Amino acid sequence: MFGLSDFVLTTELCLFVTIVTSIVLGSLLLLIKVPDTDYSRKISNAKNTMAVSYYICALLMILNLNYTSLANFDSFTSLMMFVVTAVSSAILSYSLMNVIEENFIDKDKFYLNIVVLMIASCLLMRSFWWDECWLRSAIFIACIVLFLFHSSVHIILFRRVYRKCVRKVEQYYDEEEDKRLKWVRFCYVIMMLTQIFVLVYMMLPRNFMKIYVLWYAVFMLYFTANYISFIGSHKVMLDAFAYKALSGQDLMRKIDERRQRIAKRGRRKGAEVEEVSLPEYTEVEFAKLERALQKWVREKGFREYDKTRDQIADELHTSKEILHLYFTTKMGIDFRSWRTNLRVEEAKRLLLENVDASTSIIAEASGFSDKSNFHRQFVKIVGCSPKEWRESNGK
């Protein structure tokens, strides 16, 4: 009878498991349907790009299995996994950055990057069959340097686009919404660590590479599960990244362009330049919103920290797009910063009126769900800590 003691975890078996995982996950991503809108197209493109990446990984591993008869098969597997991680890290990095900010990386540059990696990979695999010589070692070292270089470039680019996106989200969303971005960064960090860690396994004894092959299958499973979760909540994310169009900033851009055209025409004709204003219906909405905001402040609605942006817009009898447009065009400040100022002012009052209450209670009563965020915002706006404000009696 076959028992666990008879089971041997071979490199070939690990490769087979990873190949099946790659094909299944790639097919699953292709089968998932994303609504066809202008804002969700980048989600769909990234999804399909990831699926192609998995298929490429599977193809390279199938090619690897054709050389099981080699005496140094494990060494060849290490080389192939290095190629797999180099190609997949470039494709997956592009996919995630494309999700966060479409066209952040020019497609021509991306294709050039892939072509360079494929040429280097082919040369590296070809050199495996050469006799030991300085040229073979030089090619191997050059490929490692190239891998580390393009990984570093991708990390820098991702950090840049991530910070840019966080700033956009902070302009439009509540404090909790930017947490939806953090898991994207977490997944990217896990991805890059997995890709670069192949260098460590290449330095270990040859039997350790099969562990990395299995780990790569687990990584793909985890990465795909997180991305599917992202797709499930993509509407919220898309609203954040498409806020320029949804919030009316396109309208303001068109108005600015019209102002510039009229100004040029006026200078040519020597005529007085007419003032271009917001459409009348928008001004009516703004007037209604202004009255609703005054009532909302009197009733201290800003102290409710568990309200979403949609719920706040409903309370103000408007839409989140009009709300954002009002603050960016009329107030010159985003809603989040404006509300934070109100909360800090409330906290200043409560700190002096309730000297025995802890700062945690004051923070929650003022509308802050997080004590550290309360302290940070208080110091930023007031110039001192809540404790110092209380001890100085507001002076």
The residue among 383, 369, 375 whose CA lies nearest residue 303 is: 369
Domains along the chain?
Answer: 7-240 (1.20.1070), 246-391 (1.10.10.60)
Kindly report, residue by residue over 101-117, the tens digit of the pLDDT: 766 677 788 888 888 88
Distance between CA atoms of residues 79 and 199, nearest Å: 10
Q: What is the pLDDT of residue 24?
A: 93
Q: What is the pLDDT of the chain when averaged over all its residues?
A: 77
Band (pLDDT 50/70/90 cuts) for residue 261 is: low
pLDDT over 60 at 234, yes or no: no
Between 40 and 179, the more confident residue is 40
Kindly report, residue by residue over 306-364, the tens digit of the pLDDT: 676 777 888 888 877 788 788 877 788 878 888 888 999 989 888 888 888 888 888 88
Measured between its terminal Cα atoms, the distance across the chain in Å is 84
Cβ neighbours of residue 218 closer than 8 Å, sequence gap 6 or more? none
Q: What is the pTM of this model?
A: 0.60
Structure tokens at 298: 């009197």
Q: What is the pLDDT of residue 275?
A: 44
pLDDT over 70 at 252, yes or no: no
The residue among 266, 264, 262 whose CA lies nearest residue 277 is: 262
Q: What is the pLDDT of residue 236?
A: 40
Q: What is the pLDDT of residue 377?
A: 85
What's the rounded mean pLDDT across residues 270-280? 47
Burial of 197 (0-12, 13-18, 19+ CB in 10 A): middle
Band (pLDDT 50/70/90 cuts) for residue 279 is: low
Kindly report, residue by residue over 42-96, the tens digit of the pLDDT: 777 888 888 999 999 999 999 888 888 887 888 888 888 888 988 888 888 888 8
Band (pLDDT 50/70/90 cuts) for residue 36 is: low
Distance between CA atoms of residues 223 and 225, nearest Å: 6
Q: What is the pLDDT of residue 25?
A: 92
Q: How far is CA 303 from the centre of its chain?
A: 29
Q: What is the pLDDT of residue 253?
A: 52
Q: What is the pLDDT of residue 38?
A: 56
Between 244 and 156, the more confident residue is 156
3-class secondary structure for the chain?
CCCHHHCCCCHHHHHHHHHHHHHHHHHHHHHCCCCCCCCCHHHHHHHHHHHHHHHHHHHHHHHHHCCCCCCCHHHHHHHHHHHHHHHHHHHHHHHHHHHHCCCCCCHHHHHHHHHHHHHHHHHHHHHCCCCCCHHHHHHHHHHHHHHHHHHHHHHHHHHHHHHHHHHHHHHHCCCCCCHHHHHHHHHHHHHHHHHHCHHHHHHCCHHHHHHHHHHHHHHHHHHHHHHHHHHHCHHHHHHHHCHHHHCCHHHHHHHHHHHHHHHHHHHHHCCCCCCCCCCHHHHHHHHHHHHHHHHHHHCCHHHCCCCCHHHHHHHCCCCHHHHHHHHHHHHCCCHHHHHHHHHHHHHHHHHHHCCCCCHHHHHHHHCCCCHHHHHHHHHHHHCCCHHHHHHCCCC
Band (pLDDT 50/70/90 cuts) for residue 27 is: very high
Residue-level length of the chain: 395
Residue 340 · residue 366 · CB < 8 Å: no
Q: What is the pLDDT of residue 168?
A: 66
Band (pLDDT 50/70/90 cuts) for residue 276 is: very low
Kindly report, residue by residue over 114-173, the tens digit of the pLDDT: 888 888 888 888 888 887 788 888 888 998 898 889 888 888 988 888 887 777 665 555
Q: What is the pLDDT of residue 306?
A: 66
Residue with the two structure tokens 């898309």: 238
Residue 58 · residue 80 · CB < 8 Å: no
Band (pLDDT 50/70/90 cuts) for residue 240 is: very low
